[in-house]
Every structure is written in C-alpha cells, then in structure tokens.
Amino acid sequence: MTGGAVRRVDSGTETVLGRVEDGVGVIELNRPGSRNALHPEMYDAIPRLIEVHEADDEVGCVLVTAAGPAFCAGGDVRLGTGRDGGGDEDGAAALTRLARMVVMLRESPKISIAALPGPAVGAGLGLALAADLRIAAASATLVGGWSRLAFSGDFGGAWSLTRALGPARALEFLIGTEPVDAAAGERLGLFNRVVPDGDLRAEALAWARRVAAGPRGAYALMKENIRDAQVMDLREALPRESERMIRSGRSAEHREAVRRWLADRSR
C-alpha cells in the first residue's frame, strides 16, 4: 500500500507489521510463505497493535491485511498453537486468550476494515469477520476449514457467521469444506466490497482513509448502536440510541460539521 508519510509501529515481531499511514493504523500479517498462518508470536503482536492504534489519536481507522496472495490460513497446526487445549478448562482458557484479538476488534470504538488479498481459513476467517467491514480481492475465498481437521471451530467463527447468515446457513458453512468465493461472499453480505486483485491494496487504503477522515466520535457511537441492535429489541435499544444522538449533537465535531455544511450551502 502506498500513500503519504508512513510511521512504523513496533509489533515485537516480524510476523506482523504495524504502521500508521494517513490516519490509518495498519496491521499486516507477514508470513506469506506460510499463507500467513498464525504463528505463536502473532497472538500477542496483533492485540498489541490493536491497543496501540486504539490509543493513538492520529488513527481514525484500523486496517487489517496481509502480505502475499493469502489473508490467513488459520492456526499453524504444525507449530502446536494450543488448539487441542489438552481437553481441560485450562486449555479452553488459553485458547480464549489467543483469540482475544477478535473481541478487541469488535469492541474497539474505531472502525476496522479487513482487506483480504486471498483465502481466509479457520481462525483467519474468524479474524476477518471480527472486523467491522471487509473488502476482498476477486480471487479471495472464505473457508471454514475446521471440519476438515475435525475441529469444532474457534476465534468467534460460529458467532460471527450466525449473526451474518443466520443459524442454518452458518451451520451449513461450518460443516462444509468448499470455499465461498468472493462473489458469493458479497451476495451473502460477508464482503462489503469486491475489487480486482491488483486494485485491492490501493482501494482498501483509500476506503480506510475516508473512514479515518470522518467523524470518529459519531462512528464510535454508531458501532454501539449496531451492537445493541444485535441483542436488544427496539423498545430497549431506542433510549440508548437517543442518548447517543444527543451526546453526538453536543460534540465539537458535530458543530464543526454543521459549520462546514452551512459554508458549502452558501457558495
């Protein structure tokens, strides 16, 4: 991805690269030779970068992407990432800690975008679905991958798929082994946008820049409204939505937006 001045952010490992570019906090998986399968170092590096970008006032949008032609092949089972959990509670707790990155993306007040240059499999699928928005190269695919290895699923995959597709389609996806291509993913609402392979990096960064330049406080409140909508009925959600509307109307960014709008109308 190219653009203006780039500030590198140390992730603690070369398996994940971090940078800030034009108000966009980039998290780039960097194991292209292994299709960006999750290396043990990545389980701490990705959350570290999410935290750094969330605390950085220069960052208005977080972009999660990957080097090479794949997004993420899931957990690297050859390295023993702890997915078997030893069949005990400690194993489940350890896996939950490894997967904390998906919760962090969901709960961050900043809008996140996942840009998929190619396949997202298993935990990689969970990571992609944890972002607020997704843009994919035309050759990208989504693959559950868990059933092929007799895994039940992790990294919030079932949670995200159920909310996106409904229970029956989510279960069909999880038990299946055939990849969902980019066009089908867009029809299902799993991808917001699909672009030619060669345009992905430029298009993803341009989209993230536009988000970063928008009203960040209002966007954070919009995310809270969307989260409420998934767990509350309208009667319960409406007062919370109204309170956020009043709060956004009292903000400096609202006053500035009104000033710009009035100035544009007077031209």
pLDDT in tens, 98-141: 999 999 999 999 999 999 999 999 999 999 999 999 999 999 99
Per-residue pLDDT for 2 more than 50?
no
How confident is the prediction for the chain on average, in pLDDT?
Answer: 94
pLDDT at 125: 98
Per-residue pLDDT for 1 more than 80?
no
Per-residue pLDDT for 211 more than 50?
yes
pLDDT at 88: 54
Output DSSP code: residue 15.
T
pTM equals 0.94
Other C-beta atoms within 10 Å of 237: how many? 16
Which residues in 14-110 belong to E strands, given as ranges? 16-21, 24-29, 61-66
Could you tell me which residue, 229 or 81, shows the higher pLDDT?
A: 229
> pLDDT for 40-49, tens place per residue?
999 999 999 9
Report which secondary-structure segment, H or E, holds 84.
none
> pLDDT for 139-171, tens place per residue?
999 999 999 999 999 999 999 999 999 999 999
Per-residue pLDDT for 81 more than 80?
no
Per-residue pLDDT for 3 more than 80?
no
